[in-house]
Structure 1
Amino acid sequence: MQKVTVGIVEDNVQLGQDIRDKLALSEDVEVLFEVPNGLTLLQTLAKGIIPEVIFMDIQMPDMDGIEATRLAKQKCTDLKIVMLTVMDDEQKLFNAMEAGASGYLLKDAKPYQLLNAIYDVLDGGLPLSPSLAGMVLSYLKGEKVMPKPTIAALDVLSKREKEVLECLKRGLAVKQISEELFIASKTVRKHLEHIYEKLHVHSAKGAILKRLGE
């Protein structure tokens, strides 16, 4: 089995090592590099060292993670970037999603959560910390209101599609959702496609931004 390649962007040496140690628990993951800021990341990508997934700190010197994500995605459109932070911050979440991030986790995430996030983003999913997933679902349900106009998203979703969203709230990946609902992974992805189509968007991050009146 070919290993999944990963990059780490973290200015705190100890935290960077903690992430590396967690990923090392899987023999199927290879860390290609660990760099201290967004500027160094862009220089690394320019050298042709391009992993499939990057774990990105948000607050860093020289260039923060959100700007680095935006520029990295411009150069490598297929790159999957999962933001890592020490606390839940919904504004940063939406800024990161708008910049092109594919997920948002806390730095104290368990090893299995980091590893699940890798395969989830490669499978088209949107890994989020459980608390942020709950917040996103609240927006989708209309329980939380933004100053801008929103749409009543759940009114157009089927019962099964709502169940898929509930699983997302709990931070489940595509494979885990399939096991929870006793359906195939490809069926989960099809439900996600239908959800995005009904919201008139083409990705999970787009669904969130659409819900917020983007």
Structure 2
Amino acid sequence: MIKIGLVEDNAQLGQDIRDKLALGGEVTIVWEERDGSSALKAMQLEALPDVVLMDISMPGMDGIEATRLAKEKYPSLKILMLTVMDDEKKLFEALKAGASGYLLKEIRPHLLKNAIDEVLEGSLPLSPSLASMALNYLKGKPKAQESLSPEMGKLSKREQEVLQWLKKGMSVRQIGEQLFISDKTVRKHLEHIYEKLQVHSGKEAIAKGFER
């Protein structure tokens, strides 16, 4: 079972998220808190969950500040932001704070479960409208000089292609669609990539495979 920590100040919205996760299966909520401060206490007093679903707008400490503090203390913790609005400023503040993804609360149950799986695999899921914002933002920025790391020589041509698509923010499913291979095959390639590069996540693989 995937252990989830839920941070949501609205009890009804919290129940809605619980209901969605119940439909996805293989997920259990180990604790639920109403603000960032209490969430940090839960992380300290109880076993860390596999993924934290973090609301952004909350009284007291908001989700972005809670994410920043949590990532300082628990760098490997996966935090998936949930919000009711596609706010470009909040998106980049959350990612800068260390969020592992950013979704709208209206997301369908099976897509929420998929996003949780993707976060655990090292991908960075974004709601479609938010992904478009991110792409437009990046298009407006000058590209940094980038070259392949010598470590890339350890990977097969197909593994390099998978890593290239992963670097562009593609999920496992999207990579499979681009390369016309199954999700299972993509995951197997990622396993080989992590093993060859001696890393444990997609972010680490990208950092080791490319040099700026």
**Scaled by the length of structure 1, what TM-score is found?**
0.75
Aligned-partner SS, 2:126: coil
CA–CA distance in 2 between the matches of 1:134 and 1:163?
19
Distance change >3 Å, CA 165–CA 52, structure 1 → 2: closer
Report if aligned partners of 2:118, 2:125 keep a CA contact under 8 Å in 1.
yes
Equivalent residue, structure 2, for 1:151:
143
1:77 aligns with 2:69: no
1:9 aligns with 2:1: no
Report if aligned partners of 2:52, 2:80 keep a CA contact under 8 Å in 1.
yes
Aligned-partner SS, 1:119: helix
Equivalent residue, structure 1, for 2:28:
30
Distance change >3 Å, CA 196–CA 113, structure 1 → 2: farther
CA–CA distance in 2 between the matches of 1:139 and 1:97?
13
1:164 aligns with 2:156: no
| Post-superposition CA distance 1:178-197 (Å, at most 9, x none) | 2552343244685x745884
CA–CA distance in 2 between the matches of 1:182 and 1:109?
26
CA–CA distance in 1 between the matches of 2:211 and 2:85?
29
CA–CA distance in 2 between the matches of 1:79 and 1:163?
24
CA–CA distance in 2 between the matches of 1:27 and 1:84?
19
Aligned-partner SS, 2:61: coil
Amino acid at match of 1:63: M
Report if aligned partners of 1:9, 1:41 keep a CA contact under 8 Å in 2.
yes
1:62-211 equivalences in 2 (<5 Å): 62-140=60-138, 142=139, 144-145=140-141, 150-151=142-143, 164=165, 168=169, 173-183=171-181, 184-185=185-186, 186-187=188-189, 193=205, 197-198=209-210, 200=212
CA–CA distance in 1 between the matches of 2:123 and 2:87?
20
Structure 1 range deviating more: 58-67 or 180-189: 180-189
Equivalent residue, structure 1, for 2:57:
59
Question: Size of the alignment, in residue pairs?
Answer: 188
Amino acid at match of 1:80: K
**Scaled by the length of structure 2, what TM-score is found?**
0.76
Specify every segment of 5 or more residues in structure 1 that has no aligned partner in the other structure, as ranges.
201-214
Report if aligned partners of 1:38, 1:68 keep a CA contact under 8 Å in 2.
yes
CA–CA distance in 1 between the matches of 2:208 and 2:173?
19
Aligned-partner SS, 1:135: helix
Report if aligned partners of 2:167, 2:206 keep a CA contact under 8 Å in 1.
no
Percent identical across equivalent pairs? 51
Specify every segment of 5 or more residues in structure 2 that has no aligned partner in the other structure, as ranges.
149-160, 194-201
The CA RMSD measured in Å over matched residues stands at 3.0
Deviation at 1:52, TM superposition (A): 0.7
CA–CA distance in 2 between the matches of 1:136 and 1:188?
24
